[in-house]
């Protein structure tokens, strides 16, 4: 069994490799070659923790496994470790024997950022210049770095409910040599691409804040009740997602579907665009919206890539079973 500890992963995993792994597994999902198992998420009645499992099987990549973990809200103050904690386990699909254990914290941020980047590559207008960010927390900096590496943006604008966090975004933009401007939500009409990555339970971005032709990647809503954008925006947009079942139940689309503004059948898997079985964006005026809820197969695909690199460069720890 191969062990790749959390501390090694930032040196092993590149944004490029995460992008490739996520793009490939989205394509496999849309082709019916990979599927996610139902998500388990439980309040365990201890330390106010939410704990659960996301798993799946990718026949194309021969990757089987699960990510176990969740959210411990008091970790930072009590234990000095981050509140989100997870670990990935990979199994041999031929025998069921455990193959690898991989730290899941850093890779979760990279695989989430990779998903919005894959959506930008396949759905944003090629002439997109201004990137709008809504959210400025931990995930937002990963999202921003990945988006700037994926597309040649010329300017970054940002809004956050807590404006004192905006320097997190400014720093990343400046590192990439781009100007950063803090704006009101009404200023988001300047953006050609908008990424939302907050933990909000009420919409911040309204339909009137989004110009025709914009691509919106909604990345923060991953639980029932969370909401970042007005349901009316989904009614105006062509809606894509990582997985339809998650999008309409725990993603941004849950609200538009519940309000009768969007039908489940109208939500398209991004993998279908990657596979070219769906045209994707069809005009410069169309608003495209990606509902990225985060699927277990993303974690497994990126973990399998990490294990390969760690084995090849000798940094993996191997233990007998
Ligand atoms: P964080 O705590 O570091 O940052 C939270 C962000 O949300 C901050 O910008 C904060 O100002 C903003 N915010 C908080 N309350 C708000 C409100 N009521 N209205 C508007 N904004 C508000 O969290 P993070 O680690 O950056 O995670 C952000 C979100 O992304 C969380 O909801 C998390 O569950 C989700 N997430 C999604 C995926 C996925 O695959 N889709 C993966 C990881 C995390």
Per-residue confidence (pLDDT) for residue 99, from 0 to 100: 97
Site to probe by mutation for ligand 1, drawn from 105, 137, 296 as the one with most ligand atoms within 8 Å of Cβ, is 137
At residue 129's C-alpha, the angle toward residues 123 and 135, to 5°, is 75
Pocket lining: 136 vs ligand 1, CB cutoff 6 Å: yes
Per-residue confidence (pLDDT) for residue 130, from 0 to 100: 98
Packing angle of the helix pair 15-30, 296-312 (nearest 10 deg): 130
Per-residue confidence (pLDDT) for residue 248, from 0 to 100: 98
Q: pLDDT tens, 267-295?
A: 999 999 999 999 999 999 999 999 999 99
Site to probe by mutation for ligand 1, drawn from 107, 133, 139 as the one with most ligand atoms within 8 Å of Cβ, is 139
Site to probe by mutation for ligand 1, drawn from 74, 136, 217, 220 as the one with most ligand atoms within 8 Å of Cβ, is 220
Token readout for 4 is: 């790749």
Share of the chain above pLDDT 90, in %: 99
Site to probe by mutation for ligand 1, drawn from 112, 170, 197, 226 as the one with most ligand atoms within 8 Å of Cβ, is 197
**Which atom of ligand 1 is found nearest the CA of 111?**
40
Share of the chain above pLDDT 70, in %: 100
The helix (H) or strand (E) run that includes residue 229 is: strand 227-229
Give the chain's radius of gyration (CA, Å): 19
Q: pLDDT tens, 214-257?
A: 999 999 999 899 999 999 999 999 999 999 999 999 999 999 99
Per-residue confidence (pLDDT) for residue 47, from 0 to 100: 97
Catalytic residues: 67
Domains and CATH numbers, the chain: 2-108+297-318 (3.30.1780.10), 123-294 (3.40.50.720)
By C-alpha distance, which of 305, 232, 239 is closest to 272? 239
**Which atom of ligand 1 is found nearest the CA of 139?**
26
Pocket lining: 150 vs ligand 1, CB cutoff 6 Å: no
Total residue length of the chain:
321
Pocket lining: 161 vs ligand 1, CB cutoff 6 Å: yes
CA distance 243 to 139: 20
Task: Look up the pTM and report it.
Answer: 0.96
CA distance 289 to 193: 10
* Complex ipTM more than 0.95, yes or no: yes
Which residue's alpha carbon is nearest to atom 7 within ligand 1?
A: 198
Q: pLDDT tens, 36-59?
A: 999 999 999 999 999 999 999 999
Ligand 1: centre distance to CA 92 (Å)? 34
Ligand 1: centre distance to CA 223 (Å)? 11
Pocket lining: 110 vs ligand 1, CB cutoff 6 Å: no
- Local confidence band at 305 (pLDDT 50, 70, 90 cut-offs): very high
- DSSP character at residue 266: G
Per-residue confidence (pLDDT) for residue 118, from 0 to 100: 98
Pocket lining: 197 vs ligand 1, CB cutoff 6 Å: yes
The pLDDT of 79-99, averaged and rounded, is: 96
Per-residue confidence (pLDDT) for residue 98, from 0 to 100: 98
**Which atom of ligand 1 is found nearest the CA of 198?**
7
Average pLDDT score, the chain? 97
Pocket lining: 188 vs ligand 1, CB cutoff 6 Å: no
Pocket lining: 251 vs ligand 1, CB cutoff 6 Å: no
- Local confidence band at 308 (pLDDT 50, 70, 90 cut-offs): very high
Pocket lining: 203 vs ligand 1, CB cutoff 6 Å: no
Q: Which residues contact 161 (CB under 8 A, 6 or more apart)?
A: 198, 200, 204
Which residue's alpha carbon is nearest to atom 31 within ligand 1?
A: 199
CA distance 112 to 305: 15
Pocket lining: 200 vs ligand 1, CB cutoff 6 Å: yes
DSSP 98-109: EEEEEE-HHHHH
The helix (H) or strand (E) run that includes residue 58 is: strand 50-58
Q: pLDDT tens, 139-198?
A: 999 999 999 999 999 999 999 999 999 999 999 999 999 999 999 999 999 999 999 999
């Amino acid at each position: 069994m191969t062990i790749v500890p959390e501390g090694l992963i930032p040196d092993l995993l590149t944004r490029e490799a995460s992008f490739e792994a996520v793009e490939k597994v989205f394509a496999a999902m849309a082709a019916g070659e990979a599927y996610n198992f139902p998500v388990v998420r439980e309040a365990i009645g201890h330390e106010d923790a939410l704990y659960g499992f996301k798993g799946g099987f990718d026949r194309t990549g021969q990757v089987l496994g699960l990510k176990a973990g969740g959210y411990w809200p008091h970790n930072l103050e009590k234990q000095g470790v981050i509140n989100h904690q997870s670990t990935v386990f990979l199994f041999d699909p031929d025998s069921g024997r455990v193959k690898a254990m991989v730290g899941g914290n850093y890779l979760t941020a990279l695989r989430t950022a990779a998903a919005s980047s894959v959506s930008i590559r396949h759905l944003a207008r090629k002439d997109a210049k201004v990137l709008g960010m809504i959210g400025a927390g931990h995930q937002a900096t990963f999202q921003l770095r990945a988006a700037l590496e994926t597309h040649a943006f010329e300017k970054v604008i940002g809004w956050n409910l807590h404006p004192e966090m905006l320097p997190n975004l400014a720093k990343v933009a400046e590192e990439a040599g781009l100007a950063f401007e803090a704006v009101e939500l009404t200023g988001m009409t300047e953006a050609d691409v908008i990424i939302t990555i907050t933990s909000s339970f009420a919409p911040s971005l309204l339909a009137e804040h989004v110009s025709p032709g914009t691509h919106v990647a909604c990345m923060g809503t991953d639980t029932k009740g969370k909401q970042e954008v007005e349901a009316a925006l989904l009614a105006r947009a062509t809606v894509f997602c990582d997985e339809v079942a998650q999008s309409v139940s725990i993603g941004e689309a849950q609200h538009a579907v519940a309000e009768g503004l969007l039908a489940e059948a109208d939500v398209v898997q991004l993998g279908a665009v990657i596979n070219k079985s769906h045209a994707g964006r069809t005009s410069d005026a169309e608003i495209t919206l990606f509902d990225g809820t985060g699927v277990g197969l993303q974690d497994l695909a990126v973990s399998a890539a990490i294990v390969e690199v760690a084995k090849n460069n000798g940094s993996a720890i191997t233990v007998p079973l």
